Amino acid sequence: MTGKYFKKTLLSLSLIFLLGCQTPDVNKPKGTNKFQSLTAVEEEMSQDVSNELKKMIGDHERVTNVFAANTFNKLVVGFEVRQRDRFRLKKLKKQFSKKIEKMYPMLETVVTTDKKLIWELKKIEEKINNESATVNEIQRDMKKIIKLSKDEA
């Protein structure tokens, strides 16, 4: 009797061992993955919004340079004007802020003319264009700019 149970137990254990050591199915469809890949996240964080705003603000006659970047829920726009138009800076900033808020009410927006913030924004834009930064780095840098803009105000 013990030999009969021993054979059944040995057969069961070897079957379990063989099933447990199977290689993963390579032909498995990709849609079954529960986690989103990093490239899919990066594609969702496109810079279409900031590019559209750069074009809109850049078309204004008094603006010389425009820099903009956005994440999923934040948008930072910085612009420079000609030296003789510095007196109208506050009015332009308010005008652009209202337009952007109306166009994208779901985004936390910051419009700035501060040179330091524009410089930081330019660095972020370069990172995005060179694709040398991760999504987390861009979000961290954007938070830093927003914090600096609130400190300046």
pLDDT per position as a tens digit, 78-128? 999 988 888 888 999 999 999 999 999 999 999 999 999 999 999 999 998
Instruction: Give the CATH number for residue 141.
Output: 3.30.70.1350
Closest CA to 45 of 33, 32, 36: 36
Q: Is residue 10 part of a domain?
A: no
For residues 81 and 87, what is the distance between their CA atoms, to the nearest angstrom? 10
Q: Of the candidates 99, 42, 53, 43, which has an alpha carbon nearest to the alpha carbon of residue 75?
A: 53
- 110 versus 4: the higher-pLDDT residue is 110
pLDDT at 34 over 50: no
What pLDDT is recorded for position 99? 94
Q: Specify the pLDDT at position 131.
A: 84
The residue segments making up the domain with residue 57 are: 44-152
Tokens of 94: 């308010």
Domain membership of residue 8 (yes or no) is no
Q: Give residues with Cβ within 8 angstroms of 51, minimum separation 6.
A: 68
Domain count of the chain?
A: 1
Note the pLDDT tens digit of each residue in 14-31: 667 666 665 555 454 444
Least confident span in 33-42, 89-98, 127-136, 138-147:
33-42
User: Considering only CA atoms, which of 137, 141, 95, 86 is closest in space to residue 114?
Assistant: 86
CB 100 within 8 Å of CB 75: yes
- Residue 87 lies inside a defined structural domain of this protein: yes
User: What is the tens place of the pLDDT at every residue in 46-76?
Assistant: 889 999 999 999 999 999 999 999 998 999 9
**79-88 contacts: CB < 8 A, separation 24 or more?**
79/111, 79/113, 79/118, 80/113, 80/118, 81/113, 88/62
Residue whose structure tokens are 């337009």: 99
Whether the pTM exceeds 0.95: the reply is no
Q: Between residues 62 and 10, which one has the greater pLDDT?
A: 62
In a domain, 146, yes or no: yes
**What gap in Å lies between CA 18 and CA 44, rounded to an integer?**
42
* pLDDT confidence tier of residue 8, bands split at 50, 70 and 90: confident
Residue 104 lies in a domain: yes
Quote the pLDDT of residue 44: 54
